[in-house]
Amino acid sequence: MKNPYGELKHIHFWRFPGYIDFTKVVVAKTARISFNPPKLKNSIGGIYYFFQLSLKYKWVYKEKKSTEGQFLLLYGQKNCRPDHQKTFLNFAEKFNDADIIYGDFNRNRDVNYVGFLKSIPLFVIWVFQMLMSGISLYASLNVIYYILICYYQKAQLTEIFDRTYKFVVVFYDASPDENYIVQEFKKRGIMTMTLQHGMYSRKNTIRSIADTAFEITGSIADYYLAWNQYTKDEAVKMGVDEKRIIVLGPPRYIDLKEPEIPIFSNNNIFGVILNNSSFDEHNRRLISMANQIYDTTGFRFVVRYHPELPDAKYDGLLGEGFLRKGDNKCTIKEYAEGVSFTIISSSSVFIDLLLLKHPVYRLIVSEDDNYSSVKFNSFTTVNELQKLLKSKETENDAFFYLCDSYDVYQKYRMFFDTIIY
């Protein structure tokens, strides 16, 4: 399918002082077109979010400056989530020679009528520029919100683009705001890197944006700082230059020490980790399997919902073995301490639990799972799971492929130092 946003690369948008390739900024929109092409509904949504953002801008940037300021660690605003922000800050604050800038929610948001009025000519001129470049009206309105996001980044961060850093690390450079920021630094000849914040692999059948792995293929930073060898292997399959992929470990485990003993409980209660809403089939299969495990073994189960799932989403599927829902406010370690083992499908928590030496087993839903090429700790039936529970042979293989090591800080520190010095 032809990319309806392809002509964005030729547009020098009004009020942007330098050229930005907006085909890269809207990579998430491009990833959706095979199953959600631009149409009236998207256009109405684009208009709504554009003017909502201009009327009540809800984010601010905060900064923690270092006395040395050798490099910059930056967390954007578009995907600002409390758990991601916590992960980023805990990671960033370990490096005392880095400046830190991070998006946060503005708790005292006021309606900005002046900003709203100023956005009207931006809206009219930007749409006109897109139409004159051959982009359809639906496609133009669908992406105009992303252009406004970049406009606000330009206004808020102009001063930092003139700083001299050895390199800049962002949290997620396939997000429109951080993609724009990376482009601005690259124009100035400053090396850029992006962290990895989830597990991705491209599927043969694209049913949702999660199947496209645009977070990897849409990355434009000079280096992609990956969690594990699995991510690197998947990136190479998708045509990414392997020299760009540096395996350093998951940032959220920068503090983790190797557990002296495996983290689990001998209570005949197991856990079920659900994925986000784009993995609905996986979630239903996991709950069905949990019911079968209860029927076979008598073990009851706890279900931990993904933070974005409605609380009652799968209530009608939960059988007699269901004990309770896990508390998302608890850490993964606290969760792992309360169950004897866990079944999972495509969630990145698979890696989290391996790091805790928790018995965790992956239900194979299809050949297009996130971990489709990872054969360790995998099952399709209750009998296969029971065999895995009795054997620990594959757990080390799964750990080394998906977790790499426990020396996360040292690996990042050494890589950063090779560039600084």
**Assigned domain for 373 exists:** yes
pLDDT at position 327 is 87
Residue 130 pLDDT > 80: yes
Name the residue type at position 368: D
pLDDT at position 305 is 94
pLDDT at position 382 is 95
- Tokens 């492929």 sit on residue: 401
Average confidence (pLDDT) over 105-117: 84
- Of 207-211, 243-247, 349-353, 390-394, the one with minimum mean pLDDT is 390-394
pLDDT at position 392 is 61
pLDDT digits over 12-40, tens only?
A: 999 998 999 999 999 999 999 988 899 99
Residue 119 pLDDT > 70: yes
- Residue 24 makes CB contacts below 8 A (sequence gap 6+) with 179, 183, 218, 220
Indicate if 224 and 300 belong to the same structural domain.
no
d(CA 27, CA 37): 13
Average confidence (pLDDT) over 131-139: 97
Average predicted confidence (pLDDT) for the chain: 92
Indicate if 21 and 141 belong to the same structural domain.
yes
pLDDT digits over 246-299, tens only?
A: 999 999 889 988 888 999 999 999 999 999 888 899 999 999 999 999 999 999
**Assigned domain for 148 exists:** yes
Residues 190, 196, 202: CA angle, nearest 5 degrees: 115
Residue 314 pLDDT > 80: yes
Residue 118 pLDDT > 60: yes
CATH number of the domain where residue 327 is located: 3.40.50.2000
pLDDT digits over 37-81, tens only?
A: 999 999 999 999 999 999 988 788 999 999 889 999 999 999 888
Residue 393 pLDDT > 60: no
Indicate if 75 and 191 belong to the same structural domain.
yes
Average confidence (pLDDT) over 179-202: 94
For residue 340, count CB atoms less than 10 angstroms from its CB and return exposed for 0-12, middle for 13-18, buried for 19 or more: middle
Residue 394 pLDDT > 60: no
Q: Would you say how long the chain is, in residues? A: 421
pLDDT digits over 402-417, tens only?
A: 887 899 999 999 999 9
Structural tokens at position 139? 């496609």
**Assigned domain for 289 exists:** yes
Average confidence (pLDDT) over 342-371: 90
Q: Above pLDDT 70, what percent of the chain?
A: 99
pLDDT digits over 325-345, tens only?
A: 998 888 898 999 999 999 999
- Among residues 124, 143, 162, the one where a domain terminates is 162
For residue 315, count CB atoms less than 10 angstroms from its CB and return exposed for 0-12, middle for 13-18, buried for 19 or more: exposed
d(CA 150, CA 390): 53
pLDDT at position 198 is 84
pLDDT at position 36 is 86
pLDDT at position 360 is 94
Provide the number of structural domains found in the chain.
Answer: 3
Q: At 124, phi and psi to the nearest 5?
A: -65, -45
**Assigned domain for 263 exists:** no
Q: Above pLDDT 90, what percent of the chain?
A: 72
**Assigned domain for 397 exists:** yes
Please tell me which residue, 139 or 257, carries the higher pLDDT value. 139
Structural tokens at position 249? 């470990």
Name the residue type at position 398: A
pLDDT at position 207 is 78
Indicate if 181 and 76 belong to the same structural domain.
yes
Average confidence (pLDDT) over 106-116: 83
pLDDT at position 374 is 84
Indicate if 157 and 216 belong to the same structural domain.
no
Indicate if 183 and 83 belong to the same structural domain.
yes
Indicate if 292 and 363 belong to the same structural domain.
yes
Indicate if 323 and 336 belong to the same structural domain.
yes
Residue 191 pLDDT > 90: yes
pLDDT at position 278 is 81
Please tell me which residue, 167 or 399, carries the higher pLDDT value. 167
- Among residues 137, 162, 187, the one where a domain terminates is 162
Indicate if 234 and 332 belong to the same structural domain.
no
Indicate if 342 and 277 belong to the same structural domain.
yes
For 296, the domain range is 269-402
Indicate if 212 and 359 belong to the same structural domain.
no
pLDDT at position 366 is 83
pLDDT digits over 92-101, tens only?
A: 999 999 999 9
**Assigned domain for 264 exists:** no
**Assigned domain for 132 exists:** yes
CATH number of the domain where residue 219 is located: 3.40.50
Name the residue type at position 359: P
Indicate if 94 and 38 belong to the same structural domain.
no
**Assigned domain for 50 exists:** yes
